[in-house]
Amino acid sequence: MILLTTIARVSDGLPLAASMQEDEQSGRDLQQYQSQAKQLCRKLNAQSPDRCTLEAGDMNFHFLIAQGVCYLCLCEASFPKKVAFAYLEDLHNEFYDQFGRKVSTVTRPYSFIEFDTYIQKTKKTYIDSRARRNLGSINTELQDVQRIMVANIEEVLQRGEALSALDTKASNLSTLSKKYRSDAKYLNTRSTYAKVAAVAVFFITLIIYVRFWWL
């Protein structure tokens, strides 16, 4: 289930639109998550990853950044990540079409609160089990969820660590992983050459031995 949706400007964290499931409907107290979502939006910057999942116990925050705007949702951890990011992409396409040119000019929070109507309608579509089965067949770059960075919301907020730093760490790990694979390939190649050389030396020695023994 999608319990909370927030749209914010990346440059200053200004909330532009939001929608939250009523506590009675969700059976959860969402105030803490709403506070975390606001803190998270204020930590974003131009170097933040464009897609990220932040674990929050039995819940997950997912966010997508496009054209200077962050689209964030809170879902139960069991909710498919693929569907969550397809939902955020859908919101981005519609929001940009309606308000893209106005985003940089507004100064008051929730200037586009009327977008909640579209959020509510779209959320129902993505929560519906039949629609989710159809969406599961989508095969686009967005759906490559294996490449989406995953972190912990408490670590990000409590340490005050910028998401750009996490992205840098992820890039460093990727670089180290590539270097490891390159080194492993080099060592495997050297090992193969050594084995071939040993076999060649053995046969050359054998030929020389036979040649001189029988002559």
Q: How confident is the model at residue 140 (pLDDT cuts 50, 70, 90)?
A: very low
With tokens 């071939």, the residue in question is: 196
User: What pLDDT digit, counting tens, does each position of 7-44 carry?
Assistant: 999 999 999 999 877 654 555 678 888 889 999 999 88
Other CB atoms within 10 A of residue 93 CB: 11
DSSP letters for 42-56? HH--TTS-SEEEEEE
With tokens 């090992």, the residue in question is: 191
Residue bearing the bigger pLDDT, 30 or 141:
30
Closest CA to 94 of 128, 132, 121: 121
**Helix/strand number for the chain, H first, E second:** 7, 6
Mean pLDDT for the stretch of residues 171-195 = 58
User: What pLDDT digit, counting tens, does each position of 90-121 carry?
Assistant: 999 999 999 999 999 999 999 999 999 999 99
d(CA 91, CA 8): 12
